Amino acid sequence: MKKTIIPLLNIALILFGVALLLSCGGNNNDTKTRYIITSKIFKEFKGTKELEKKFVALQDKQKYILDSLGLEIQTLEKFSRSNSGILFKKKQTYDQLSAQFSQSNQEQYKQYSEGIWKQINQYLNDYGKENHLSYIYGADGTGSLMYADSTLNVTEHVIAFINKKYEGD
Amino acid sequence: MFILSIIFCVISCQPKELNPAEYTEWVKDYSHGLHKMKTVGDIVFDLQCKPVEFIVVNEQKGNIPDKELLDTRVNELSKNQYYTLSLKVKDKTVDFLKYKVTSEKEFYEKLYYYSFAFQNDIFLEDGGKMLPCKLFHFERSYDLKKSRTFELSFPAAENSTSDKTIVINSKDLNCGPVRIKINQDDLNSTPRIKI
């Protein structure tokens, strides 16, 4: 009796193994397509965080300059009886500086974020190649990707990968 | 058996010894971690970390007569750390300095930038410090090469055992700060020179 049970158990085990392998083969993980949440990738990318820090520091500096000038204008308004030439000049400088800061910030942010996207695109390219993917779709909420199985979402993997690449690995 | 395996481990962990020519090849080999390549957009960054021994071997054209000469020169050079950076366009037919250049004026501005001001946009992150590029040399290629090469040197960080990362943050390249890391483990496993 025992002699017949052992080969049967072996066959059952082999069949179970094959079934397991087949079920894994039919899994979505074999699909050469993945998707990412683009906005999250950009937000979590270390380069973006560094850029934001830089901009906050720059804007703080600019705010400090404008605030000092604003205070000067307020004091002049309080104590000078008439609309003096100095006050007019200060107000003009304030407006000019404010406009200049805002324009240069916009230009700089555009240029920096262009660079950041260049790096993200490059690292996504590397990720796709290293993981033998055919496509990586970007779900950005604009309707370019209406539905995808959440098991195909590799956003977190990609964030870890691109941040490692950014750090120089 | 246990003791034997420990001895084997200790021996295999020791950096090996190579003759000067083999040593040079070892350092240049991309698989050993001291020579790295990184592509961002259309630009290819090629960084060669140069241990001081590597510089001495090259100075002596691969012929080191005695250990004393090697040690003396190594001692002189080790106040700094040395790298060679090459920049090229992914499309090998395009000259790096002429990439996206539309006028002669722009070309000369770019040439001036890479000859001098580019130095201010390169740093070395070592031991938590951001070290400025101390020595900078833009290699003249007389347009014989499409790539451009820069010799860089940074002060040696005292007792640093951390990874070293070159940071290139150039407005002209317009790809954000580009980092290339040289792992300390790879530096530690550099072979010794057999004389």
Domain positions in chain B are 2-193
Nearest to A111 among B174, B177, B181 (CB): B174
Mean of pLDDT values over A9-36: 61
pLDDT of residue A31: 59
Quickly state the pLDDT bin for A145 (edges 50, 70, 90): confident
Q: Does A114 touch chain B (CB under 8 A)?
A: yes
pLDDT of residue B46: 98
Between CA B126 and CA B160 the distance in angstroms is 7
Q: Please provide the average confidence, as pLDDT, over all residues in chain B.
A: 90
Quickly state the pLDDT bin for B143 (edges 50, 70, 90): confident
B1-28 per-position pLDDT tens digit: 555 565 555 455 556 889 999 999 999 9
Say what percent of chain B tops pLDDT 90: 74
Quick one: fold of B2-193? Answer: Immunoglobulin-like (2.60.40)
Between CA B92 and CA B67 the distance in angstroms is 42
A122 contacts B176? CB cut-off 8 A: no
Q: Which helix or strand (DSSP H or E) is residue A28 part of?
A: none
A168 contacts B166? CB cut-off 8 A: yes
Give the count of alpha carbons within 13 A of A53, CB side only.
Answer: 6
Is the pLDDT at B177 greater than 60, yes or no?
yes
Smallest CA–CA distance from A126 into chain B, residue: B39
Smallest CA–CA distance from B176 into chain A, residue: A115
Give which of A118, A123, A129, A165 to mutate to test B binding, by max B Cβ within 10 Å.
A118
The residue type of A159 is I
Q: A-chain residues within 8 Å CB-CB of B178?
A: 119
B41 contacts A118? CB cut-off 8 A: yes
CB atoms < 10 A from the CB of A39, how many? 13
pLDDT of residue A11: 64
Task: For A75, list phi and psi in degrees, rounded to 5.
Answer: -65, -45
Quickly state the pLDDT bin for A84 (edges 50, 70, 90): confident
Between residues 126 and 155 of chain A, which touch chain B (CB distance below 8 Å)? none
Please determine, for the modelled complex, whether the ipTM score is greater than 0.95: no
Class of domain A32-166: alpha beta
Q: In what order do the strands lie in the sheet containing B164-168?
A: B129-132, B122-126, B164-168, B178-182
Mean of pLDDT values over B140-168: 90
Mean of pLDDT values over B119-147: 93
Higher pLDDT, A96 or A25: A96
Mean of pLDDT values over A95-102: 95
Between CA A138 and CA A39 the distance in angstroms is 9
Q: Are B84 and B48 in contact (CB under 8 A)?
A: yes
Q: Please provide the average confidence, as pLDDT, over all residues in chain A.
A: 85
Between CA B95 and CA B28 the distance in angstroms is 24
Across A8-12, A50-54, B116-120, the highest mean pLDDT is recorded for B116-120
Q: A-chain residues within 8 Å CB-CB of B181?
A: 167-169
Q: How far is A139 from chain B (nearest CA, A)?
A: 22
Between CA A120 and CA B46 the distance in angstroms is 19
Instruction: Give the list of residues 6+ apart from residue B54 with CB closer than 8 angstroms, or none.
Output: B23, B24, B27
Higher pLDDT, A81 or B83: B83
Quickly state the pLDDT bin for B109 (edges 50, 70, 90): very high
Mean of pLDDT values over A93-115: 92
B176 contacts A119? CB cut-off 8 A: yes
Between CA B1 and CA B16 the distance in angstroms is 24
Task: State both tokens at A109.
Answer: 């942010």
